[in-house]
Structure 1
Amino acid sequence: MAEKQLHMLLGPEKGQKDQYLDNLKKVLKKKGGEEPESHRFYPFDTDISQIISILRNGSLFSSHKLAVILSCEEIKKAGDIKMLGQFCKNMPEDVTLVFLSDSVSVDKRLAALVPGSEKKIFWEMFDNQKIDWVQKYFSDQGMKIEARAIHVLLEMVDNNTVDLKEACQKLSFYFNIGDVIQDEDIDNFVYHSKEENVFTLFEKILLKDLSGTLEVFSKITLSGDADLVYLLSGLMRQIRRVLKVKTALAEGEALQTAFQMYEIRGKKNQKITGDGLRKFGLKELEQVQREGEILDRRMRELKKSMQIISFQLFLIRSFRGIK
């Protein structure tokens, strides 16, 4: 077994993991003279025995196979790990296998299959690093961005360089060289761009607009690229924050003080949150959070079709005071 045939990439920093995979593809292409045949598997969507069978069969299209098993932290059954262990000891020479996870640890028996030199953990950037990264990005574009605008942007983007870069690229299209981007501009960009995202979905929920919520969710899922696990995680982050503000108000805090406590910045964001606070009672928000967290724990175990159905049911029940 060649060491370089097995890799394990862990941690929340998606951008660096994607870059690692891109570099690996380039190495395999250079070595084989053609693009490797790529496969992506989820352990809750495809049986381990089926994955191994696919990898053992010769390829008709390329001299090499690059397979990625995502969410590998879900591989915990002794039988599955045993099968993988037997496969890894006698891997075909034309296969490279990568275990991928957003977690920083996986089952010790699974981790033991991969040589230590090929196990990497990619951590998120610290807050000060992200601020510097955003400032440099817009500076390279000939623009400036105010500190408050950076904080608003960082609140609205998943904590990895892929999503941060994508958000900055899209935002830069709205401005010209020499412009100064302010926090209100971030609000307008997020809520008025043509793309639907976790924030436009969250806005419809807070306004108790059921038809609008389902329409936004449908547009997100129809793109085919949406990761519903990430979408729900981002939505729950917003719901938890609103619940904290609602709790603070119930304990006598002023609205603006509560906004500052839980870093709800931007006029548009504050207005939408304020509307939601009036439409949802404390008990309702608590129920929505509980049900959302239950679904959050189950999402990785569901196939894509069932993820969509379960997510839709959660959204509908959120408007009916989940019971």
Structure 2
Amino acid sequence: MNVVMDLWRKIEKKQFSRLYLLYGTESFLLNETKMKLLEHVLDEEEMDFNFASYDLEETPIEAVIEDAETLPFMGEQRLLFLNNPVFLTAEKTKEKVEHNLAVLEAYLKEPAPFTILVFIAPYEKLDERKKMTKLLKKEAEVLEAKKLSEADIKIWIRNKAAGNGVQIDEEAIEMLLVLAGTNLMMISSEIDKLSLYAGDTKHIDLKTVENLTARSLEQNIFTLVEMVVKRDIEGALRIYYDLLKQNEEPIKILSILSGQFRLLYQVKELSRKGYGQQQIATTIKVHPYRVKLAAGQSRLFSDEELGRIMDLLADADYQMKTGGLKKEMIIEMFFFRLHQPIA
């Protein structure tokens, strides 16, 4: 996270590099970095003349380099975004264009002093064996936009709030993560809203987060599972009916509900095998914070209970897809059947 914040601070101070390489699957960090470059490199009146965005799956690199070597018009700098540089990955893609990488290699060794070239590679990994990857990593300012850890998200929340001129309590941060999840786009939007509400107090506390933070569908499902943990079927049904009033589709609710219980089952099974929470997160490819929450819930179910719930959800999914009953009723029946003792 410190690497990201350091890069953003440099951009805000107009300490630009001639070359940037942004790669990874955390789209919020990629987009935020792009927006900061747009905001600080060019004035609004320069945008039409000195900014361009290319898709390298459609445009040959030599055409982009030709643009990069063109003097800026009515300004001092040009800003070019180069999206999808497939030649940096090991992914098998059917390339629509051929790239003359010798032209790019020569440019990287001596970039135009008036152009900022930004490679945006939304890939989990780059092919480190490739000469072009090695050269670009050597010559460019590099940002790996990967999923943040729980600790890094908390740092980012504090920095985001501070950037809005407000202070946020630690317990408020914890609750924000519980309610909004780990999606940075959603968290960013919520912090902006909470900051406006804080007004002259310049302070976001737990109560403010509880009262104002929008619950995602996933969070409502998490709370619904909490009701099942407490054997409060009426509470679970109440949340379910609220979701229906919000026009959420039963099949989507069932899918996320099944996914949550599948996560509990996987966490419980892997924990039994001695896996730590970080190992579990890596193995099943979910955010460590979700594993942390699931670990707490999974301990409150026996193996038999979780197995039976998975069977009930599989049966509900089958009925949903074969169309024997009203979809709304199928999930109701799932909750009612939870009352029945294990055979």
TM range (shorter): 0.3 to 0.5
Q: Highest relative contact order (Cα 8 Å, sep 6+), 1 or 2?
A: 1
Larger radius of gyration: 2
Normalised to the residue count of structure 1, the TM-score between the two structures is 0.47
Normalised to the residue count of structure 2, the TM-score between the two structures is 0.45
